[in-house]
Amino acid sequence: MLSNHYSITKVKQIINADGNIVKECTISTLFTDSRRISNAANGLFFALSGRRNGHEFVAEAYAAGIRNFVVAHGPEFNLPEANFLRVADPLAALQALAAYHRSQFNLQVIGITGSNGKTIVKEWLYQLLAADKNIVRNPKSYNSQIGVPLSVWQINGRNDLGIFEAGISTVNEMDKLEAIIKPQIGVLTHMGTAHDEGFDNPRQKLLEKLQLFRNSKKLIYNYDQLIDYKKDIPVKDTFTWSRKFNQADLYVFSETVIAKNYYLRANYQKKEIECLIPFSDQASIENAITCWATMLALGYSAVEADKRIERLTPVSMRLELKTGVNECSVIDDSYNSDLQSLEIALNFLNQQNQHQKKTLILSDIFQSGLQQDVLYRQVADMVASKNVDKFIGVGEALLAHQQYFKVAEQYFFTDTATMLQQLKQLNFKEETILIKGSRSFEFERISKALAQKAHETVMEINLNTLLNNLNFYKSKLKPGVKVMAMVKAFSYGSGTFEVANMLQYNKVDYLAVAYIDEGVALRQAGINLPIMILNSEASAFDKLTEYKLEPVIYSFGLLDDFVSYTQDRGIANYPVHLKIDTGMHRLGFENYEIETLCDMLEENRYVRIQSVFSHLAASEAKKHDEFTKTQIKRFEKAAKEIEKTLGYKVIKHLCNTAGIIRWPAAQYDMVRLGIGLYGIDSAVPITENALQPIASLKTSVAQVKKISAGDTISYSRSGKLSKDGKIATVRIGYADGYLRAFGNGIGKMLIKGTLVPTVGNITMDMCMLDISGLDVREGDEVIVFDEQHQRIEELAAQIGTIPYEILTNISQRVKRVYFYE
């Protein structure tokens, strides 16, 4: 993050800490995540206790070069020449430091909160005001108890406007954010149902949000939304907008769609004014009106506001990870560029292990508020510290400052077109390429050239959701219980290295796959976590050992085979896992075989038993709970006997996803988390919102046809409409994993917000939907499943199967695109 300068002694005083300063030092950068440390020399690491205790990472941060720490206790070991500042609550200290920093500047600050649209409104206000102001704002949506202080820490003497968003999920949080942001101007965006679960009722949530504005001089909000809460508004001077009431300051009385734009007319200061919004979806319109009101409230003329709003561009905070040409991976972040988001994108680049070579294509950066030589020196430092192997700079400014860059392989071009002409010579092959550009450089052209063309059926995977799901289960584990993530069958259809990289970066303990080949693929993609193989074939033991994969031994035959294999090659203590069959009756040693097994393991030096486990047949089903209890008893008995024989401790594990929540006493040393990671668990009610499905499947309309009553549709003339109507032919069929069972009205898809049934049989590559009465065009998007409209669970119910089967059926032909925020 960007820098500011305080001596460590001064920091100690600001946060009121104990501890000795052993070496004076200037602090300019704050870190809370030991994995993201670069330029550590002037860094200060806060050991925060969130889902993981930051104190566990002090040694890692030290190894990365950090010599200044804010901790609640410790250090537990000797770390020479490091300053340890001890406080009761390191997060409170981080917030106090940011609040102090904020108090050193008297720039104007706009504070934004609401349930939806905070980030969009913040980014749009930035687009609208950057022409006259030197603006500092949150990177991406860094709006939490940690994100806000890190954002505010970036304020420097040149900024004359701050735009900061604040997000909360429960009571008593906004107070702390207000003290850090101190906004003189408040903007309230759409209030919806997000985070309702953290509050007793909607009013409590609103009151908590309004806390952000308790010291503000002016508040901009939607009059219609707060009509019942007038007395609760903490600010006297307000600027309101409305689509219903003409007493609002900005009363929007006419709305028309023109092409894909939205044309608004409104009354303002007794005059009629207008505004053209270059979007037509409802959320964008509401956010754009909020920005319009804010510009007027800030004193801009209606003409100027209209002129700037017309040029608003979409805000994409997401990075997209796609398969590229020539065995490359492409990270597409082609819509904006500034130092903070560059750093975030480079961190994501560094999370990728699938190719050794890491490449950055970067455009000139605008509106940084820094002088060019300072800016590009910082960019060059960042690029160097993130170990980029190949650098391609596009733009006059980068070209002019190329002397700062010292990347092993580097190229500079004046503009995007020139670079594209040289694409062949740049020889992209087996590398991970980050494309990061300011909008005017139109880097989407580069991304189009480098990413493999997707046929129009795409499965979108949200990696942030994956992480949230993982953290949800971690929060349900007893202390010390390890996580083995099940990534068999292409991670339940969701991807190989893309998912595994995320899990490795976020420190799961083990991975498991079904077959040796799956394990080899993960190793070749740079995954170094221990990997358990559920079902090893003797013919591939060479690969198994070459790639350090750990087999499950489930029968005497397999044990024999593997022991002779290791014996022949002089291998000792090879890690293996023992599977006990306690009632699933698939693979594993039966209870009566345990004694013989123990005899065979006694003094066997060829293998080392890493873990002993079994699998529950019905962990999710109440009606089988007695059976599950029997399985648990059998497992405990077998594991105990084996441990006694071996004379050393082994990892014991039994629970799959549903078991984690329903059978917490059986978590033992580790759990095997499968489908829950991908957002599905019948033991967690969907209404609780604790889990989200990570995948959505989308396709598009290839053709629209008028059909008369009586005409037949598809093979075997299987479909018919009862009246004259219309069908849409869409680009998904059973070869993509949309099974034939969905045909003839059993399955439904979402077009233009409406669920419509299939007609006729599903064909190999296409199927037909009844769209009678809807305005559907060729090319329109069609949603097969997603989190909001039609979940995977519902598809499974339609054809009488389980979500596992729906997910793993999606064929490899369907391109996967990964999103990360």
Per the listing, tokens 């300019």 go with 28
Residue 488 CB, nearest distance to ligand PLP (Å)? 6
**Which residue shows structure tokens 């593997």?**
562
- Residue 586 labeled ligand binder: yes
Distance CA 36, CA 136 (A): 22
Shortest distance in whole angstroms from residue 371 CB to ligand PLP:
54
Length of the chain: 821
For the record, the structure tokens of 777 come out as: 């065009």
Which CB, 279 or 627, lies closer to ligand PLP? 627
Joined tokens for residue 676: 């829950």
- The DSSP call for residue 49 is B
Rounded CA separation 646/627 (Å) = 29
> Closer to ligand PLP at the Cβ: 111 or 674?
674
> Pick from 35, 30, 45, 36: which is nearest to 75 by CA?
45
User: Which residues contact residue 369 at a Cβ distance below 8 angstroms, ignoring those fewer than 6 apart?
Assistant: 134, 135, 136, 156, 158, 159
315: tokens are 């805000």
- Give how far Cα 721 sits from Cα of 13, 44, 404, Å: 77, 68, 68
Task: Give the whole-angstrom CA distance, residue 504 versus residue 509.
Answer: 8
Q: Which residue's Cβ has the minimum distance to ligand PLP?
A: 674
Cβ proximity to ligand PLP: between 180 and 675 the closer is 675
Q: Whose Cβ is closer to ligand PLP: residue 67's or residue 488's?
A: 488
Smaller CB separation from ligand PLP, 187 or 513: 513
Find the shortest distance in angstroms from Cβ 620 to ligand PLP.
8
Judge contact between 287 and 294, C-beta under 8 A: no
Is the CB of residue 327 less than 8 Å from the CB of residue 433? no
Closer to ligand PLP by CB, 64 or 587: give it: 587
Q: Taking phi first (over 0 means left), then psi (-120 to 50 degrees means alpha), and beta for anything else, what does residue 576 get? A: beta
Query: Residue 112, Cβ neighbours under 10 Å: how many?
Result: 30
State the DSSP code for 190: B
What is the rounded distance in angstroms from the CA atom of residue 36 to the CA atom of residue 34? Answer: 5
**Amino acid occupying residue 341:** S
Give yes or no for a contact between 587 and 554, defined as CB atoms under 8 angstroms apart: yes
Q: Nearest distance from residue 57's CB to ligand PLP, in Å? A: 28
Considering beta carbons, is residue 210 or 675 the nearer one to ligand PLP?
675
Min separation Cβ 615 and ligand PLP, Å: 4
Nearer to ligand PLP, 161 or 534 (CB): 534
* Calpha distance 336→333 (Å, rounded): 7
Q: How far is the CB of 679 from ligand PLP (least distance, A)?
A: 11
* Contact of 579 with 613, CB cutoff 8 Å: yes
Sign of CA dihedral 137, 140, 145, 146: negative
Contact by Cβ (8 Å): 588, 623: no
**764 is annotated as contributing to ligand binding:** yes
Strands across the sheet with 237-242, in order? 135-137, 161-165, 108-113, 185-188, 218-222, 237-242, 250-258, 261-268, 271-277
Q: Which positions lie near ligand PLP, rule CB under 6 A?
A: 486, 534, 615, 656-657, 672-676
Compare residues 675 and 759 and give the one whose CB is closer to ligand PLP: 675
3-class SS of residue 804: helix
Assess contact for 500 and 688: CB atoms under 8 A: no
Minimum distance, C-beta of residue 475 to ligand PLP, in the bound complex (Å): 17
Handedness of CA 56, 58, 61, 62 (dihedral sign): negative
Residue with Cβ nearer ligand PLP (205 or 672): 672
Catalytic residues: 488, 715
CA-to-CA distance for 377 and 375, rounded, in angstroms? 5
- DSSP calls for 572-641: -SEEEEEEE-SS--SSSB-GGGHHHHHHHHTT--SEEEEEEEE--S-TT-GGGHHHHHHHHHHHHHHHHH
Inter-residue contact 758 to 645 (CB < 8 Å) = no
Q: How far is the CB of 595 from ligand PLP (least distance, A)?
A: 24
30 or 666: whose CB is closer to ligand PLP?
666
Find the helix packing angle between 497-505 and 463-475, rounded to 10°.
50
Shortest distance (Å) from residue 676 CB to ligand PLP:
6
For the bound state, the minimum distance from the C-beta of residue 486 to ligand PLP, rounded and expressed in Å, comes to 4
Q: Collapsing DSSP states into helix, strand and coil, what is residue 255?
A: strand
Q: Which single residue is written with the structure tokens 């793993």? A: 808
Query: Could you give the CA distance from residue 210 to residue 220 in angstroms, rounded to a whole number?
Result: 12
Which one, 674 or 719, has the nearer CB to ligand PLP? Answer: 674
**What is the residue-wise DSSP string for 216-248?**
-SEEEEEGGGGGGGGGG---SEEEEEESS-TTS
Enumerate the H helices of 108-201 as residue ranges. Answer: 118-129, 147-152, 174-181
Contact yes or no for 460/819 (Cβ under 8 A) = yes
Alpha helices of 130-201 — where are they, by DSSP H? 147-152, 174-181
In the complex, minimum distance from the CB of residue 529 to ligand PLP, in angstroms, rounded to a whole number: 16
CB of 672 to ligand PLP, least distance (A): 4
Annotation: binding site for substrate? 586, 764
